[in-house]
Amino acid sequence: MRRPRRHFWIALLLIVSLPHPAGIARLRDYELDFEQISQAGQEIMDRFAPAFIKENYRFATADEMRQRMAPIRQALEGESIKALAVMEPQARALLTRLRADPEMEMYADWLETRMDFFEVAAEADRVIRPTPPAPTPPPPRVPPAPTPPPPRPLPPQPTPAPTPAPKPPLQPPPPAPPPPQAPQPPAPSPPAPTPDTVAAQNRYIESKDVWMRKLANRPPPARAAALVPDLKRIFQAEGVPPQLVWQAEAESSFNPAARSPAGAVGLYQFIPATAQQFGLSLTPQDERLDAKKNGAAAAKYLKYLHGRFGNWPLALAAYNCGEGRLSKTLRAHGGKSFADIQAYLPAETRMYVPKIAALIQLRENADLERL
């Protein structure tokens, strides 16, 4: 029996578009509970799908959904640049499939903002490589044995009386075969990353200059023009630098409906617990989908994080990887600034902060460190 190629996204589309109670229950908080999605999706197919669909397709199991999404999420949450670089083609292929389906735009915008991380990691892996060892010189070549000269032809004989036909001249012996060549050594495998290589790749992805170069020719998202003025007023009212509204470009590409596989929603990507902590209701209407309310919650959250960690780079790092992880990393390494602990944070966070710094520099001509 054939299986759909887009199990995960078909699951979401079916639940969003068909009035099934289990699907509606999950839409209240937009959490991705794979068991319920799989169960609800199969029930929907059993109840509504035509016979030929039931005969040729089955709904993905919860384990299959996790398996398809896990590598991308693990690469973003892990510390390995190589893992992100290796996942770049898979993430790009997924983005192409999402863009082909208008119903999946909210997920496509979430992934597209994170494609930058995969691309910069792949660039670092391509540009900065370990120095390969010097090649082993080939063994000395044994010269072939000299070929003996052909025999000298016989001198011409006078024409005698008719005699039997002379024998044909002797042919030279065939040349001796060349001696066997020594076997060539196999091609060397790519050298393993050295600590110096890893450190150089870290410096590359963490560099604001690299992000400035990558984003220099990228125009602001089309939705930003209508949203930025109101968002700046909201941030100023909370005592947060208005230039930080451009965090939404890194989070959602200014799509108020953007959603992540982890259940985060809106301009500034709030999961349910954090949304409620900073004043957003999830029922009867999900206020995370309201751009202004989402922006107000983001401003409050950033203000809180700044008060806890003391500067905006650390506040943004905590926004991305979580307060607990950032606090633990600061304690473990005795850090006082983002630069002190940047190399010990998840790969996404190490790039998230310099990316936002570059966006603020390009959009507002402002320095994140001096806000």
Strand partners, 270: 265
pTM of the model: 0.71
Query: Would you say 358 and 216 are in contact if contact means Cβ atoms under 8 Å apart?
Result: no
Residues 163-212 pLDDT 10s: 666 666 666 677 767 666 666 666 555 566 688 888 899 999 999 999 99
In this predicted structure, the answer to whether residue 328 has a pLDDT above a threshold of 60 is: yes
Query: Would you say 262 and 249 are in contact if contact means Cβ atoms under 8 Å apart?
Result: no
pLDDT at 106: 84
Phi, psi dihedrals of residue 319, rounded to the nearest 5°: -60, -35
pLDDT at 308: 97
Confidence of residue 233 (pLDDT cuts 50, 70, 90): very high
Q: What is the mean pLDDT of residues 38-60?
A: 68
Residue of 243, 213, 226 whose CA lies nearest to 312:
243
Burial class (CB in 10 A: 0-12, 13-18, 19+), 109: buried
Query: Would you say 264 and 252 are in contact if contact means Cβ atoms under 8 Å apart?
Result: no
Query: Greatest CA span in the chain, whole angstroms?
Result: 130
First to last CA, the chain: 59
Q: What is the DSSP letter of 345?
A: S
Domain ranges of the chain: 109-129+196-370
Q: Where are the beta strands (DSSP E) in 78-157?
A: none
Neighbours of 279 (CB within 10 A): 12
Distance (Å, rounded) from C-alpha 184 to C-alpha 223?
60
In this predicted structure, the answer to whether residue 266 has a pLDDT above a threshold of 80 is: yes
Look at 136 and 364; give whichever has higher pLDDT.
Answer: 364
Distance (Å, rounded) from C-alpha 82 to C-alpha 105?
28
- Lowest-confidence segment of 2-6, 18-22, 181-185, 333-337 by average pLDDT: 18-22
Distance (Å, rounded) from C-alpha 159 to C-alpha 149?
29
In this predicted structure, the answer to whether residue 284 has a pLDDT above a threshold of 80 is: yes
Confidence of residue 66 (pLDDT cuts 50, 70, 90): low
In the CATH hierarchy, which top-level class contains the domain 109-129+196-370? mainly alpha
Residues 337-354 pLDDT 10s: 999 999 999 999 999 999
Distance (Å, rounded) from C-alpha 116 to C-alpha 24?
33
Q: Quick one: how many helices (H) and strands (E) in the chain?
A: 17, 0
Average pLDDT, the chain: 81
Query: Would you say 298 and 247 are in contact if contact means Cβ atoms under 8 Å apart?
Result: yes
pLDDT at 189: 58
- Lowest-confidence segment of 177-186, 215-224, 323-332 by average pLDDT: 177-186
